[in-house]
Amino acid sequence: MARRLRLGMVGGGEGGFFGTAHRAAARLTDRFELVAGAFSSDASKAARSAEALLVAPERSYGDFRAMAEAEARRDDGIDVVSVVLPNHLHHAAARAFLENGIHVVCDKPVTTTLADARDLGDLASRAGLLFAVTYTNAGYGIVRDAREIVASGRLGEIRVVKVDFSQGWLSSPVERDGNKQAEWRTDPARSGAGCLADIGTHAFHLAEYVSGLQCRSLLAVVDTLVPGRRVDDNADLLLRFDNGARGGIWVSQVATGQSGGPVLRIFGTRGGLQWKGDDPNRLLVSELDGRTQIVERAGPQSRNPGRLPPGHPEGFVEALSRIYDDVADRLMHRHDAAPVRSPQAPMPDIADGIRGLMMVEAALRSGGDWIDL
């Protein structure tokens, strides 16, 4: 394909953090060009956003349905759309583009309900369209290296998988003080669930992605610790995996003073590994005899090369850009049979999004009892 992929965006307008991160990630690949958007439901804000992003006025839309229909009719219409809206709008927006034959990249959680996630999965499958979900941790090269280490058998048979993901930004009721991110994320009508949906889906995906295992059942204690809050803000989960391994997830947004990323630990019969989201370029691999190896982010010759050469740390945007690279690889492969660069490291997709919602709904039903997924 002798051009960049034409990218559209829904949401992510003026003042939005995640839209900015997605655009930066897509630009970093040098394989996408942002050409259209429905950046806000506020017409003036949408127009200002389009102007600032150098999107032609005729391709700045008032709503995502009009955008999907208009772009599908154009000879130079978008190849793929990035959906960076609040959770409750993901289903309708993604569905509008899938129905018009347009590939989708969607933020997580993919929807607010399992039924809606399965609906998108069925539609994408029937239409033969790509549907990526931005579980960003899966974009770190060292996380993909960790997945390969587990798959190689170096750790032996996996026995224990643990993920902690703790934040403190909702330790007080900031949703009542004008914090827009907190306002919609703590509104069950817009978020679907609280920390389980927001960071729990990240933790759950990371556990399954690196271990190569699937959770078969879970027991959860889900709490709302800030008085008056309407969604969960702390949860403890015990997990049982398909090979008999045990696991656990702790997610919290009321861990006062904490602002780091997830911490993943996997232990097998011959060794273990640990990865921390706030030190994302380094992996600790422990042997049965007690020796621990520090594995640094791979260089250009790796199967999971970094965006930057070794010695130049990478972070969130670089990891997100690798998922956009995954998307570009797969779309180019469909168009002209170009090779997929990292076929051994699956791109997070709608199936992963569905499993995230399976976890959320099972955890909310559990009440301290074991629930099958």
| pLDDT by 10-residue block (mean), the chain, 373 residues | 92 89 96 97 91 96 96 98 97 98 97 98 97 97 94 97 97 94 95 97 98 98 98 98 98 94 97 96 94 82 71 89 94 76 76 98 97 96
Residue 74 CB: number of other CB atoms within 10 A? Answer: 12
What is the model's pLDDT at position 310? 75
- Token digits of residue 173: 């009721």
CATH number of 5-133: 3.40.50.720
What is the model's pLDDT at position 111? 98
In CATH, what is the architecture of 140-301+349-372? 2-Layer Sandwich (3.30)
CB 119 within 8 A of CB 91: yes
Burial of 344 (0-12, 13-18, 19+ CB in 10 A): exposed
What is the model's pLDDT at position 244? 97
pTM of the model: 0.95
What is the model's pLDDT at position 343? 57
CB 162 within 8 A of CB 248: yes
* DSSP state letter for 73: H
Q: Which residues of 104-138 are buried (b: 16+ CB within 10 A; e: fewer)?
A: bbbbbbbbbbbebbbbbbebbeeeebbbbbbbbbb
E strand spans, the chain: 5-11, 32-38, 80-84, 103-106, 131-133, 158-166, 215-223, 234-241, 246-252, 263-268, 271-276, 282-287, 292-296, 370-372
Q: What element of type H or E holds 288?
A: none
CB 203 within 8 A of CB 262: yes
**Domains of the chain: which residue ranges?**
5-133, 140-301+349-372
Question: How far apart (Å, rounded) are the C-alpha atoms in residues 159 and 368?
Answer: 22
CB 345 within 8 A of CB 330: no
Residue 367 CB: number of other CB atoms within 10 A? Answer: 11
CB 21 within 8 A of CB 27: no
What is the model's pLDDT at position 299? 60
CB 354 within 8 A of CB 360: no
